Chain A
């Protein structure tokens, strides 16, 4: 559990980050909280001769809420998300999800940017960000661009971000309606056996809008449009919820691991989604 030797950089601004990335290409990686990258380096499964620590970089911190938009700097930690009263007031699903990530020590270091950029299917934030329809902001040698969370994930650890790009911020519209982040895990510190992020808007007892995303049930987070569609216009009767669960099950593709076989994961995914929908509806 000792990484190979590496050069450590701690630039103060994004220009510094980009110039190191440009100079070293594939041999350089940026690090936010380090919770994914450092263990991989210690196992020598990731070799990173040039490690760029982002924590001193200007402009990557802070939570801003204005004009119905939320902006989370890439280096905002899970702990900051949990502690931010304003954020909890307008987007309580973020706090509910962040509280289910690992333990306080991890949450003091783990960041939103690292969590969404790494492309680990086990991470909670990617699915959550798809649910709330967030946008990821990238900067690279060609300048800045943004990618919707729902179009960001290609495969495990493969995303729309190019190697020389850095994810700088996450923005999202203030979510509407009831919410729930429901997660089953074996223990504290574990990835989800299955997790569901749900936002539902209720008007006159009818589902006006629904957003559903699942975590750790495929090699990417799964935003299930069909599941959302199954709820729209219904009063969330049993048949509608069943239809949503069925639709979701058609979209996921879990694989067997120590958490259990595929049949179990699918069953739990259905149970977890049903519970999330019911809780979100009760809050809508």
Chain B
């Protein structure tokens, strides 16, 4: 290294943490050179697709596949009867329930998988599907979870024995269509606090059913090699290792004979965490035919059948002193899970982390109760761009705060401020059990309100109300506030597992002799830019340039075991493993450097990209020198090579937070909202790549806008999906998206090796209530308290109409 390279230049050359390094993935993605599941084409590959139920609830009297077998190119039609001898007609869900792979005597939702047609190509499969004749006997359809808990209609026959409900995976059932009750906090003390409070605000809100809708739908290619007994399964898996274990457990194929590969994934957002019938059927079809079998959903299949998100009826009571200090919170949720409980949550958390619903506030007493219910809707309940049920929790508390502010006749920003957990209270144990690792809410809030000139906005809003009343304008102005605390990075093995698999994660690093490296992780990017950011963590930890480090994920034959990417867990867990593995590399490098420099180990210290002799900076060995030495010199007492692996079990979750403000003008006559400004301050702890963070914030906010303003999976009374195409399912384009202003504070996680907290989901979690609060705030002056999302044009119009704002 020449002397004319300054230390700052050496730091810059690494492109380590804090650098807005351009995404290394984008060269292929922007040129259409990605390699997605549907790009995989193997010799002799077949195509499988489903006959799906047109009915939401029906008994299957007969399936006649004879005509389908006559269709040219059709090779097989699998039904539950074919899978039953293998014990594969049902499969376990991640939530402790089980789910039909193919309809076993009845169907429970529209679009349910009834038969699997295997053909030489997807066109023949489609013709085959048309030719399968299924005789259905329609049954009463239950789409309302409250009705489900009253009706005699039994949706799931396995929930009843001798006329009585049998226990479910999470305890006794209250009714045959009831799945579980889950509680957190203290029931009686909460009731007592609320009963004796100065002020109580009560509200019921429905967080509608929506869908993650990744651009790439779900799919897989299964290839069973009967010669060597190995099954290779490519798929859109957010958790490839967990899928390998699940496939082994349900198929009986030994795990070493299964190789699961997640290639490039076109967005996941929780939709690609669980296991779907298509995976099982493809594997079985490949075993039966001895050929590779591909299954790819189309858009309607994806929207109608693979995992939805939310569908939570939340009833809240919040109590406070007359000065506005919150004293208690009570929340009851009726959770509509559809026909099977296929939520993707850690095993002990059937309602996810809904018990983060005390939010960012110091609420001394609280109680949460969640009842899960079966209905004739598609299964799911995944965390769409959020940690487990955290969007629901944050929406709930951020709406309750607004409702309480109305009850107290107080400014909602001030109400938040006086109830925030204070900086000096961290680590803070919340009433519902979580230990928040760190936070500085007041600083973030003050910065946000100052930046947007909150006082000025309120003054403008007041003038607007006057003008509206005077007939000078037909547009109202809404100021949406939200302050959120996420809980991400699941999670500590002591309380987080999925199907018994602890939710640690991993990184394995190999340094090559010439000073470049490959690192493999147990996670899998779906667009988050892992290949970029994890290399930056390593660059800072081991002193080799990020550009010289390859990051590889998604192949279970090569990557170390990990639980995958969802719930913003990659940076908190695998990112920590990466740093820890890097530190093992550095520890060995230190010994090698000391040997090369002929000093004691303790006499060298790490400096950016090298070890230097303490007090003699001209004496050093770069990491590149050290890497070469590791492979070409016999060093006494040190093994050759430079590799490390780390499995990281996080001591706690991380708790990113943020302060958002949305300013919206609403056309009272047409219900059309116009977002004038959106300010998002995120504190995700240590910032690895500011550019990627900004991109994540933009994406999360856009999905938040979608959910708040129109995106829903709606059913009619017969259980028909009304929003099964992108005509009716709102996926925003550049046209609908406003400009976003991003900002940040930095409060590092005290327990994470590099202080990072995760950011991919924060903007969604904080964004949904912010957009919704803006709509609701616009009508506050006219008596609005709460209206349910989605706030599409006609529902906003309905709010205005109900308040008498139309002639």
Contacts and interface: CB of A to CB of B under 8 A. Distances in A.
Interface of A: 1-2, 4-5, 44, 103, 184, 186-191, 193, 258-261, 263-264, 267-268, 271-272
Nearest to B797: A264
B736 A184 contact: no
A189 B736 CA distance: 11
Contacts of B794: 193, 259-261, 264
A272 B298 CA distance: 36
A258 B728 contact: yes
B733 A186 contact: no
B735 A184 contact: no
B298 A186 contact: no
A268 B127 contact: no
A187 B725 CA distance: 14
A189 B735 CA distance: 10
Contact of B797 (A189, A258, A268): A268
Contacts of B792: 186, 260
B127 A1 contact: no
A4 B72 CA distance: 13
B669 A267 contact: yes
Contacts, number: 68
Given A5-B127, A260-B797, A187 B735 contact: yes
8 contacts: A1-B300, A2-B125, A2-B127, A4-B130, A5-B127, A184-B793, A187-B710, A187-B730
Contacts of A184: 670, 672, 793
B670 A268 contact: yes
Contacts of A258: 714, 722-723, 728
A184 B792 CA distance: 12
A261 B801 CA distance: 13
B330 interface: no
B732 interface: yes
B299 interface: yes
A24 B293 CA distance: 38
A268 B672 CA distance: 10
Nearest to B297: A1
Query: Which of A44, A189, A259, A264 has the most CB atoms of chain B within a 10 A radius of its CB?
Result: A264
A63 to B, nearest CB: 27
Nearest to B794: A260
Contacts of B126: 2, 4
A-B CB proximity, top 6 nearest: A260-B794, A2-B126, A1-B298, A264-B794, A188-B735, A271-B669
Nearest to B123: A2
Interface string B780-807: 0000000000001110011001000010
Given A103-B735, A184-B793, A186-B710, 16 more contacts: A44-B130, A184-B670, A187-B730, A187-B735, A187-B736, A188-B733, A190-B727, A258-B714, A258-B722, A258-B723, A260-B793, A263-B801, A264-B671, A264-B797, A268-B670, A272-B670
A8 B534 CA distance: 51
Contacts of A188: 733, 735-736
A189 B670 contact: no
A109 B664 CA distance: 35
Contacts of A190: 727
Contacts of B672: 184
A258 B732 CA distance: 17
B111 to A, nearest CB: 13
B733 A187 contact: yes
B148 to A, nearest CB: 24
A267 B792 CA distance: 15
B671 to A, nearest CB: 8
Query: Which of B300, B726, B794, B798 has the most CB atoms of chain A within a 10 A radius of its CB?
Result: B794
Contacts of A187: 710, 730, 732-733, 735-736
A191 B727 CA distance: 9
Interface in B661-694: 669-672
B586 interface: no
Secondary structure at the A interface, as helix, strand, loop or mixed, is loop
A60 to B, nearest CB: 28
Contacts of A191: 727
A189 B669 contact: no
A272 B714 CA distance: 27
Interface of B: 122-123, 125-127, 130, 298-300, 669-672, 710, 714, 722-723, 726-728, 730, 732-733, 735-736, 792-794, 797-798, 801, 806
Query: Which of B123, B130, B726, B797 has the most CB atoms of chain A within a 10 A radius of its CB?
Result: B797
Contact of A193 (B732, B793, B806): B793
Nearest to A261: B794
A48 to B, nearest CB: 15
A191 to B, nearest CB: 8
Contacts of B736: 187-188
Given A1-B299, A264-B794, A267-B797, A189 B127 contact: no
A256 to B, nearest CB: 10
B751 to A, nearest CB: 43
B334 to A, nearest CB: 25
A2 B793 CA distance: 33
A186 B727 CA distance: 10
Nearest to A3: B126
A122 B88 CA distance: 46
B301 to A, nearest CB: 9
Contacts of B722: 258
B502 to A, nearest CB: 40
B71 to A, nearest CB: 10
A180 to B, nearest CB: 16
Nearest to A103: B733
A111 to B, nearest CB: 20
Nearest to A265: B794
A190 B299 CA distance: 17
Query: Which of A1, A258, A259 has the most CB atoms of chain B within a 10 A radius of its CB?
Result: A258
A193 to B, nearest CB: 7
B119 to A, nearest CB: 11
Contacts of B733: 103, 187-189
B31 to A, nearest CB: 19
Contacts of A193: 793-794
A261 B122 CA distance: 39
A196 B670 CA distance: 14
Contacts of A271: 669-670
A186 to B, nearest CB: 6
Contacts of A260: 792-794, 797
B122 A267 contact: no
A188 B731 CA distance: 10
Contacts of B710: 186-187
Contacts of B123: 2, 5
B727 A264 contact: no
Nearest to A194: B670
A263 B669 CA distance: 12
Nearest to B49: A2
A260 to B, nearest CB: 3
A189 B726 contact: yes
B57 to A, nearest CB: 23
Nearest to B126: A2
Contacts of A261: 794
A190 B733 CA distance: 12
Given A187-B730, A258-B714, A2 B735 contact: no
A155 B17 CA distance: 64
A41 B710 CA distance: 28
A2 B300 CA distance: 12
Query: Which of B123, B730, B736, B793 has the most CB atoms of chain A within a 10 A radius of its CB?
Result: B793
A256 B544 CA distance: 63
A264 B798 contact: yes
A271 B475 CA distance: 13
